[in-house]
């Protein structure tokens, strides 16, 4: 009995589709986390700076990650502490320039 030849292209495409789905899910979850803890109210530059500081501190002080993990567990518990309170339902869409601060003057001119 002859074996059916493998379709490597189809297998590769399936794996690539799964990888894309995982990346999309991770991105969505990170966005939801940003909203849950309330840091979406910060300017993008401030959030980026804070995240860079977190990465640096996690390398310099490994114990910091353990402390952050303990503090972060409460976010995922029912009734846990969150950055801001939400009303029932999805958050209202943000209109740039109306619901968020205008970009700094040097960026607006570009």
Place of tokens 């339902």: 89
Place of tokens 């840091």: 39
Token readout for 61 is 């002080």
- Indicate the SS3 state at residue 3: coil
Place of tokens 């029932």: 88
pLDDT values of the chain reduced to their tens digit, one per residue, 110 residues: 788 889 999 999 999 999 999 999 999 999 999 998 899 999 999 999 999 999 999 999 989 999 999 988 888 888 766 655 444 444 444 444 444 444 444 444 44
pTM (2 d.p.): 0.56
């Amino acid at each position: 009995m002859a074996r059916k030849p493998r379709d490597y292209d189809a297998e590769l495409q399936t794996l690539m589709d799964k990888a894309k789905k995982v990346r999309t899910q991770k991105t969505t979850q990170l966005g939801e986390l940003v909203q849950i803890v309330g840091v979406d109210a910060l300017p993008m530059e401030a959030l980026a700076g804070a995240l860079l500081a977190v990465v640096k501190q996690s390398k310099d002080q490994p114990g910091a990650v353990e402390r952050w993990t303990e503090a972060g567990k409460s976010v995922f518990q029912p009734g846990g502490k969150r950055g801001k309170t939400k009303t029932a339902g999805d958050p209202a869409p943000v209109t740039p320039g109306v619901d968020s601060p205008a970009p700094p003057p040097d960026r607006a001119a570009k």
